[in-house]
Amino acid sequence: MTLALSLIFFYGIAQIISYAYVHEKLEKYAESILTRSNSLISQVKEIDALRNEFAVYSPCSDQYLHSLRKRLWPYPLIKDISYIKDDRVICSALWGKFTVPLSLNVFRNKVDRAGYTWIFDAMIEEGITADILYTDNFAITVSPFAFQRFWEDADKMNFNAIVGDNNHESHFFRIGKDINKLEAIEHGREQALSFILIRACNSVNDICVIAGTQLPFFFYGNVYALVFLLSISLVIGLLVSALIINNLEKNQSLLSRLEYAIDHRKLHFVYQPIYRVKNNSLIGIEALIRWNDDKVGNIGPDIFIPLAEQNGLINKIGLYVVENSIKECASILQEHAITLSINVSCSDICSELFRQTLVNTMQKEGISGGSLMLEITERQSASIEEIKQSVEFYQSQGILFALDDFGTGYSNLSWLSLLDVDEIKIDKSLTDSIGTESINKHILPGLIGMFRNMPRIVVFEGVENELQYQFLKENLPECCAQGWYFSRAVELTGIEAILRDDKA
């Protein structure tokens, strides 16, 4: 599959590059033909302006022919100048005087234009044709090499071109092998999506060049390009497949290692202290799960919690956290008036097994509901009605609730109005705005005013510096805070040490 996609991708890229390349070349091709046509018209006009000069000599006399030859010499796009009478060439600079006047009635195409009659592919002699324009008794023969070099490009690049008037009612010069197709497409008689058409016009001389070519397949006639395309697609396809397989295997093995770690109690906890700002007294701790895998090393909860959520392991983690963190903290919770905050998912709190496990663990460890704070966010999708009922059940057991990540898209005022929570945890992104010029900064003063009158515990998360701490102390002294300014998350022994210091 990846090989096929890779092939399609690279073929598509190659085809786009090929199109751009051919388009640019064709544009230049049309422009050069237009330039050449303009030069030809200029040369025709210049020679035409000499007509009166020739008229002083007797037609086809030696002086007349000499004068024609002399004047013809500097014009590379003009082959011959002739004296004609009754549509017959009597003499010319190139041929001299014809013994039998040359009739101009055998030709491919005849066009009347700007006082001239143009005849294209007029028969001069067996095997010799030429494009001639004439008026009165004066004719000019276009050099057969005037457009010669464009035939080389036409053969090499498969280009075609028509030189015609602006409306393209009359076609003068035709270059290329597919010229009939180009004419048919140009006049709307044929449709060809893969045919590139370019138009280059000059309104002063009333000429337009239409150039066209069949869009080539990238590898058309080019085996090396095809082999290159297939090789690069193969290599990239194999690399992408290997990466995908590797990633899947890694995730799979990480998932099975996580399940093993849960089942064999290999996950452990660190606790981050939460303080009341006005007097720096410890009011609680937040349990944060950690995983140090024997083989992979430390894996952060920001990696394995979403992995567990996506693969149906989150409830197992929820049970693990409840059983083990409560058991671990039981003695300090009994001895001190602090709460243990636990992150739970909405599906956890709605599960009957979770309820029973939590209540049983509390009873077994001798912990009252008021020592526990369950932190929820809107991220975990479940119906609000179901969550509301669950919250009411836990609250009937005396358990406290916190709305986590408040101020982000996941947790906001609408949830606050729907759930009767005991604590609001202000997300770090809002704390970060203290003392900065960020957009959130403008939200903060309004929230501070609101929190002052709110009968709930307000905890600012992610307090990292003195400025943030002082701001909270001055504006909201009753609020609580946690963050690296106070302490990073530490092992339980670290919390015990803080509690001992507090007592002393």
Residue 458, phi then psi, degrees to nearest 5: -115, 125
**Residues in a beta bridge with 195:** 214
Pick 104 or 340: Cβ nearer ligand LFPHGCPZ: 340
SS3 content of the chain, % helix, strand, coil (to 5): 45, 25, 30
Pick 405 or 423: Cβ nearer ligand LFPHGCPZ: 405
Shortest distance, position 484 Cβ to ligand LFPHGCPZ, whole Å: 4
Cβ-proximal residues to 312 (8 Å cutoff; 6+ apart), any chain? none
Pick 72 or 274: Cβ nearer ligand LFPHGCPZ: 274
Which residue ranges make up the site for ligand LFPHGCPZ (CB under 6 A)? 272, 286-289, 300-302, 305, 321, 343, 345, 404-405, 461-462, 464, 482-484, 489
Angle at 106 between CA 101 and CA 112, to 5 degrees: 100
Which helix or strand (DSSP H or E) is residue 109 part of?
strand 109-113
Pick 63 or 251: Cβ nearer ligand LFPHGCPZ: 251
Q: What does the alpha-carbon distance between residue 130 and residue 78 come to, in Å, rounded to a whole number?
A: 11
Contact, 380 vs 346, CB < 8 A? Answer: yes
- Tokens 């009753």 correspond to 478
Angle at 89 between CA 168 and CA 103, to 5 degrees: 75
Pick 131 or 404: Cβ nearer ligand LFPHGCPZ: 404
Shortest distance, position 301 Cβ to ligand LFPHGCPZ, whole Å: 3
Shortest distance, position 352 Cβ to ligand LFPHGCPZ, whole Å: 19
Residue 322, phi then psi, degrees to nearest 5: -60, -55
Give the residue among 338, 337, 315, 309 at the shortest CA–CA distance from 482.
338
Pick 145 or 484: Cβ nearer ligand LFPHGCPZ: 484
Angle at 17 between CA 15 and CA 21, to 5 degrees: 115
Type of residue numbered 32 = S
Pick 176 or 284: Cβ nearer ligand LFPHGCPZ: 284
- Three-state secondary structure readout of 125-144: ECCEEEEEEEECCEEEEECC
Type of residue numbered 361 = T
Which tokens in the block code for residue 128?
Answer: 């010799």
Angle at 441 between CA 438 and CA 445, to 5 degrees: 170
Shortest distance, position 195 Cβ to ligand LFPHGCPZ, whole Å: 59
Shortest distance, position 405 Cβ to ligand LFPHGCPZ, whole Å: 5
Task: Tell me how many helices (H) and strands (E) the chain has.
Answer: 16, 20
Pick 37 or 411: Cβ nearer ligand LFPHGCPZ: 411
Pick 66 or 488: Cβ nearer ligand LFPHGCPZ: 488
Shortest distance, position 449 Cβ to ligand LFPHGCPZ, whole Å: 24
Residue 58 is given by DSSP the state P
Shortest distance, position 231 Cβ to ligand LFPHGCPZ, whole Å: 45
Which helix or strand (DSSP H or E) is residue 234 part of?
helix 223-263
Shortest distance, position 348 Cβ to ligand LFPHGCPZ, whole Å: 8
Shortest distance, position 270 Cβ to ligand LFPHGCPZ, whole Å: 7
Pick 226 or 288: Cβ nearer ligand LFPHGCPZ: 288
Which tokens in the block code for residue 240?
Answer: 């992408």
Shortest distance, position 292 Cβ to ligand LFPHGCPZ, whole Å: 13
